[in-house]
Amino acid sequence: MPKKSSVIHPLWATKFRTPGTELRLINGRYYLYSVSSKYDPILKRAKKITGKMIGSISELNGLKPSKSSSLIDTANLAIREFGFVSFLNSFNKDIEAKLKQFFPGLYKEIIYMAYCRLVHNSPIRDMAFYLSKSMISVDDNTKYSDKHRGNFFRKVVYNIQKP
């Protein structure tokens, strides 16, 4: 069986090749593909698996990412509920002002609990989960745990009993 001809790629093209990628010359243009390997028990050896095209390489422009590879970086993507939160923010100003007046340090937690009960019909113990999936608490870095809930309820009862 004749051996494949080995193509020597120019330096300007090979500088973009990293581990896990393959450089291909197709119709006079260079393309960079992701590659991996998987063991094939029938062949009893590793089999190369070519992935998606990363981009095309030219001497003048360097690596130009392909349209499909540069759509969205899903590593830092977060999906959060926004519709009801927008409604709350626009139609809830007077209620929020009253809560700030009577519960100055606790009004946000009260709104969060009302949100969880109203929107998700969930027990308060699941509040941390639903707040992490919503835009309502995007600026709040408080960690909501069982201990936090107990302290919160004690503070609310203390504020109500205070003359």
CB-CB contact of 109 with 152 (8 Å): yes
Answer whether residue 2 is part of any domain. Answer: no
Threshold 0.95, pTM exceeds: no
The pLDDT, as a whole number, for residue 46 is 93
The pLDDT, as a whole number, for residue 5 is 56
Nearest CA-CA partner of 15 in 70, 48, 69, 59? 59
The pLDDT, as a whole number, for residue 42 is 92
Q: Which domain holds residue 26?
A: 11-71
CB-CB contact of 100 with 106 (8 Å): no
Give me the residues of the chain with pLDDT under 50, please.
none
The pLDDT, as a whole number, for residue 49 is 92
Q: How many domains does the chain have?
A: 2
As a whole number of angstroms, the distance between CA 21 and CA 33 comes to 5
Nearest CA-CA partner of 122 in 138, 104, 103, 144? 144
Structure token pair of residue 83: 């519709």
Answer whether residue 163 is part of any domain. Answer: no
In order of 4, 5, 7, 45, the CA distances from 1 in angstroms are 9, 12, 18, 19
Do residues 17 and 64 share a domain? yes
Answer whether residue 124 is part of any domain. Answer: yes
Do residues 62 and 15 share a domain? yes
Instruction: Count CB atoms within 10 A of the CB of residue 64.
Output: 13
Answer whether residue 78 is part of any domain. Answer: no
The pLDDT, as a whole number, for residue 129 is 86
